[in-house]
Amino acid sequence: MIPPVSQLETEVENLEYISVESIVDSLIQRSRQAFNEFRSADQQSVDEAVTAVAWSLYKPNNAKKLAELAVQNTELGNVNDKIIKNQRKTFGTLRDLLRARTVGIIEEDKDRGIVKYAKPVGIVGAVTPSTNPAATPVNKCMMAIKGRNAIIVAPSPAGWKTTNHAVELMREGLETVGAPQDLIQILPAPVNREMTQQLMRSVDLVLVTGSQNNVKGGYSSGTPAIGVGVGNVPVIVDESADLQRAGRLIGMSKTFDNGTSCSSENSVIVLDSVYEDMMNAFADVGGYLATEEEKDRIVNTLWTSPGKLNRSLIAKDVDVLIRHCNLGAPVETTKFIIVEESGTGPEFPLSGEKLSLFMTAYRVSNFDDAVAKVRAILDYQGAGHSCGIHTADQSKAKYLAEELDVVRVLVNQAHTFGNGGGFTSGFPFTLSMGCGTWGGNSITENLNYRHFINITHLSTEIPEDKPSEENLFGEFLQKYHPDYSL
């Protein structure tokens, strides 16, 4: 018999009376029961459930409350931007989901005699980060429900209270439309590594957004897993760019939610001919260019040890950064801080992801040098994720797409508002972005509903499609084996 949620939570308060295996097993049993009830739902019922989940976060009072809880609990980001993120990501994701079919026949190819039927994957285990303790869980829950799955969220310990409240609201939404509440559950507090790993071993699909240790844990769990890589977006500004627009877009993107997004611009590579003008454009939107002396203080303060960011500066307001690093930046007008650098790699930590309102600037002589710098930055950190360019020359953008091993190349866009889906970009809305094998991931696209369904292929006989030997081998044999006759 499955204990009620309230009883389970009471028991978990004293873990000596209940094992991690028992905790997870109870959640799995409830999920399996809810899944079995929901797996035969029709498309309308599924879409009503998805909309109810979306409304639980999009509703203005809820979006605000969860944003406030997130900042209060994690001390990361800022309330106003988290409200925007909660609503914008949810709205965009709902748009995408309501346009898709995930029940019954979803595609028919008469020429090939193939009909595709969508089926659920089962129970999903979703590991979510402290940077987005409301938006990311709701985003994943919407996609899981769209596929007629159940989902159990494993939040970061710092974000548990926020995520738990989001789960409560989503469960209320499911109840409103008559869907089983246990389609969405959360690991009880205190969440720990052992409990999360047990969940990964027990579900049918693992999704991991957050630390690379968790991503590796997902891949090694023995369960099919999707993880996402590290962001460290470098962006080129060339001599043909609209510098004022580039400054405005980069500044707006860099400062959103205090730089918590993995898509936030971390480095800007500017051609020498427009470098000074670009720095002026940044100054116009609140960018402060640090001095060489301040650079040393920033590096020594932002990293407590090699590769380890100072948590007291991650995603903090700019006045906190100015005070901790003893900078001369005017608090009233500064929105982000630019630090000049020339090198890349472990000996140049500013070339890596900073998760804060610091952005690194590189000055290069030509476009080829700019591309080389982008490649070096991504080789150090952020492999496969994204890069961008501000230019009037589309051939340069195409060159980046052809030559660089990244999943996304954005042209004249703000990365934070384009990478993870935008109303003026074609990417699907998500908070989890695959980086391909370059970044140690299994997907080379934004996480979306297609990753939450299995597909049955019905095949019927078609007219024979068998070319002749001459069609297949003729040109090859004529070129390399001219004496051979078919």
Average pLDDT value for the chain: 95
How far from the centroid of its chain's Cα atoms is residue 52's Cα?
23
- My answer on whether 107 and 185 are in the same domain is yes
Q: Are 189 and 160 in contact (CB under 8 A)?
A: yes
pLDDT tens profile 216-244: 889 999 999 999 989 999 999 999 999 99
pLDDT at 344: 98
Catalytic residue among 262, 325, 387, 435: 262
For residue 20, count other CB atoms closer than 10 A to its CB.
Answer: 17
Is residue 258 within 8 A of residue 289, CB to CB? The reply is: no
Q: Is 262 a residue of the active site?
A: yes
With cut-offs at 50, 70 and 90, classify the pLDDT of residue 211: confident
Last residue of a domain, one of 370, 401, 420: 420
- Rounded CA gap, 48 and 173, in Å? 10
Q: What percent of the chain has pLDDT over 90?
A: 94
Range of the domain at 279: 234-420
Taking the CA atoms of residue 270, residue 275, residue 279 and residue 282 in that order, the dihedral angle to the nearest 10 degrees is: -40
Instruction: For residue 190, say if its preceding peptide bond is cis, omega within 30 degrees of 0.
Output: yes
250 within some domain: yes
pLDDT for position 4: 45
Does the structure show a pLDDT above 50 at 2?
A: no
Check residues 6 and 103 and name the one with the higher pLDDT: 103
More confident site: 13 or 307:
307
In Å, how far from its chain's centre is CA 261? 8
Residue 227 β-bridge partners: 208
Rounded to 10 degrees, what is the CA torsion of 70, 261, 303, 282? Answer: -120
Q: What is the pLDDT of residues 39-67, one digit of tens each?
A: 999 999 999 999 999 999 999 999 999 99
Mean pLDDT, residues 86-103: 98
Same domain, 189 and 259: no
pLDDT of residue 17: 60
For residue 214, the model assigns a pLDDT of 86
Whether residues 176 and 290 share a domain: the answer is no
- Same-domain status, 243 and 217: no
Query: Is 463 inside a domain boundary?
Result: no
Query: Is 476 inside a domain boundary?
Result: no
Q: Confidence class of residue 16 from pLDDT cuts 50, 70 and 90?
A: low
Asked if residue 181 and residue 113 are part of one domain, the reply reads: yes
- For residue 125, is it within any domain? yes
**pLDDT tens by residue, 424-472:** 999 999 999 999 999 999 999 999 999 999 999 999 999 999 999 999 9
Q: Residue 62 carries which side chain, given as an amino acid letter? A: N
What would the two tokens of residue 83 be? 């409200």
Tell me the mean pLDDT in the region 403-424: 96
Q: Please state the φ and ψ torsions of residue 114, each to the nearest 5 degrees.
A: -115, 130
Number of neighbours of residue 392 by Cβ within 10 angstroms: 11
The reply to whether 26 and 155 lie within a common domain is yes
274 and 239 Cβ atoms separated by less than 8 Å: yes
What is the spatial distance between Cα 227 and Cα 194, in angstroms, rounded to a whole number?
19
pLDDT digits (tens, 9 = 90+) for 152-198: 999 999 999 999 999 999 999 999 999 999 999 999 999 999 999 99
Quick one: 67 and 95 in the same domain? yes
Question: What one-letter code names the amino acid at 96?
Answer: D
pLDDT at 3: 47
For 263-301, write each residue's pLDDT tens digit: 999 999 999 999 999 999 999 999 999 999 999 999 999
**CATH number (domain holding residue 114):** 3.40.605.10
| Residue 475: inside a domain | no
The 3-class secondary structure across the chain, one letter per residue, is CCCCHHHHHHHHCCHHHCCHHHHHHHHHHHHHHHHHHHCCCCHHHHHHHHHHHHHHHHCHHHHHHHHHHHHHHHCCCCHHHHHHHHHHHHHHHHHHHHCCCCCEEEEEECCCCEEEEEEECCEEEEECCCCCCCHHHHHHHHHHHHCCCEEEEECCHHHHHHHHHHHHHHHHHHHHCCCCHHHEEECCCCCCHHHHHHHHHHCCEEEECCCHHHHHHHHCCCCCEEECCCCCEEEEECCCCCHHHHHHHHHHHHHHHHHCCCCCEEEEEEEHHHHHHHHHHHHHCCEEECCHHHHHHHHHHHEEECCEECCCCCCCCHHHHHHHHCCCCCCCCCCEEEEECCCCCCCCHHHCCCCCCEEEEEEECCHHHHHHHHHHHHHHCCCEEEEEEECCCHHHHHHHHHHCCEEEEEECCCHHHHCCCECCECCCCCCCECCCHHHCCCCCCECCHHHHEEEEEEECCCCCCCCCHHHHHHHHHHHHCCCCCC
Average pLDDT of span 18-22: 91
Q: What is the pLDDT of residue 442?
A: 92
Query: CA-to-CA distance for 176 and 211, rounded, in angstroms?
Result: 35
Neighbours of 162 (CB within 10 A): 28
Q: Residue 122 in contact with residue 95, Cβ under 8 Å?
A: no
CA distance 75 to 71: 5
| Same-domain pairing of 268 and 383 | yes
- The count of domains in the chain is 2
Q: Is residue 26 part of a domain?
A: yes
- Same domain assignment for residues 32 and 149: yes
Q: Which tokens sit at 220?
A: 């090694």
Mean pLDDT, range 342-355, rounded to an integer: 97
Residues 222 and 371 in one domain: no
The percentage of the chain sitting over the pLDDT mark of 70, rounded to a whole number, equals 97
Give the CATH number of the domain where residue 394 resides: 3.40.309.10
Considering the domain boundaries, does residue 429 fall inside one? no
State the pLDDT at residue 448.
97
- For the segment 88-98, the average pLDDT, to the nearest whole number, is 98
pLDDT value for 268: 98
* Residue 371 belongs to some domain of the structure: yes
Residues 160 and 144 reside in one and the same domain: yes
The model's confidence at residue 6, banded by pLDDT at 50, 70 and 90, is very low
* Whole-Å CA distances, 221 to 188, 204, 208, 240, 369: 20, 11, 12, 49, 42
Are residue 289 and residue 196 in the same domain, yes or no?
Answer: no
